[in-house]
Amino acid sequence: MRVKRSISIGVCLGWLMVSSSALRAADAVEVTIDADSTMLTIGEKALVTVYGRIAAAIEDDSDQIFSWYIDVLNDNADAVRGYGNVQTPASDNTPSTSADGTPAGAALRGIHDTFLGNPGAGKGGRVVLVAFEVTAVAAGTATISVAAGSTVGGQLSDFLVAQNGGGAIVGGQYDSASVEITVTGEPDFSELDLRISEAGSITFNPLPGFDHTVQFSDTLLPGSWVDVAGGPHNTGSVNQVVTGVRERYYRVVLATP
């Protein structure tokens, strides 16, 4: 037998406030996470996307995911770092987040937003919660995962699903909310194809995910390399006027941003 409970809901500072009679369901929203590439070389990037969908058991009686509040965690920031260009394409606002002192790229905590402007969000299909870029910085494997939000005070729960005719059910399910990204090693530096013309034009093919700095040396001795002005030179083109030296050598130094 189905038991119906009435609750009062209202909007306060962009967040849905519900009474203590809200029903708790551990699997009210199924959370999943994808990466457009799970095998990277150093310097390459992957787009990671977190989705939510109302669980099948309550979907027919639900109106939409109203609000959400999650953490995104990375268990190996030495291999993969983020989170660049954070986006919430279907949500109402730019996501709010908090820092908690973890290493750079290790956590994006307390991301919260609402779907007031997206009727039916999460019903009949997945809706994007948040998307961001991560960059491979060293060989290894990193697991990017999602958990209930834990570091911003005052939020009711990780998910709130508005029910047809009033009421709400809260809670998220995270069994499928992780993705493993493997960094295999160095890129093919031969693809840089550094070229120098007699007129002093230096060109090369930039490698994705790196900052490029052109350096020169007149002797090749240790400590003699000097950065060409205007770096980083990520366009792959530098012009040099060389006078008063018999020989000059050039190289391109790569670094992850």
How far is residue 69's CA from residue 51's CA, in Å, rounded to a whole number? 12
Amino acid at 94: T
How far is residue 195's CA from residue 182's CA, in Å, rounded to a whole number? 32
Strand order of the β-sheet with 249-255 is 226-227, 211-217, 249-255
Look up tokens 């039916």; give the residue. 120
Residues 121/172, Cβ–Cβ less than 8 Å: no
Q: Give me the percent of the chain exceeding a pLDDT of 90.
A: 54
Residue 231 corresponds to which tokens in the numbers above? 């770096």
In sequence order, the 6+-apart residues with CB closer than 8 A to the CB of 78 are: 137, 138, 140
Q: What is the pLDDT of residues 5-57, one digit of tens each?
A: 333 333 333 334 444 344 555 589 999 999 999 999 988 899 999 999 999 99
Model pTM? 0.72
pLDDT at residue number 155? 62
DSSP per position, the chain: --------EEEETTEEEE-TTPEEEEEEEEEEEEES-SEE-TT-EEEEEEEEEE-HHHHTTEEEEEEEEEEEEES-TTTEEEEEEEE-TTSSSPPEEE--SPPTTSEEEEEEEE-TTSTTTTSSS-EEEEEEEEEE-SSEEEEEEEEE--SSTT---SEEEEETTS-EEEEEE-TT-EEEEEE-----GGGG--EE-TTSEEE--PPTT-EEEEEEESS--TT--EEPTT---TTSEEE----S-S--EEEEEEE--
pLDDT at residue number 7? 30
In sequence order, the 6+-apart residues with CB closer than 8 A to the CB of 18 are: 7, 8, 9, 156, 160, 168, 170
In sequence order, the 6+-apart residues with CB closer than 8 A to the CB of 20 are: none
**What class, spelled out in words, does domain 9-183 have in CATH?**
mainly beta
Q: What is the pLDDT of residues 65-107, one digit of tens each?
A: 999 999 999 999 999 998 877 888 888 877 777 766 778 789 8
Amino acid at 214: V
β-strand partners of 51 = 32, 128
150-160: average pLDDT: 74
pLDDT at residue number 156? 64
Would you list the domain boundaries of the chain?
9-183, 189-255
Residue 222 corresponds to which tokens in the numbers above? 């240790």
Residue 27 corresponds to which tokens in the numbers above? 């699997």
Among the listed ranges 9-13, 141-145, 227-231, which one has the minimum average pLDDT value? 9-13
How far is residue 178's CA from residue 146's CA, in Å, rounded to a whole number? 6
Look up tokens 């973890």; give the residue. 102
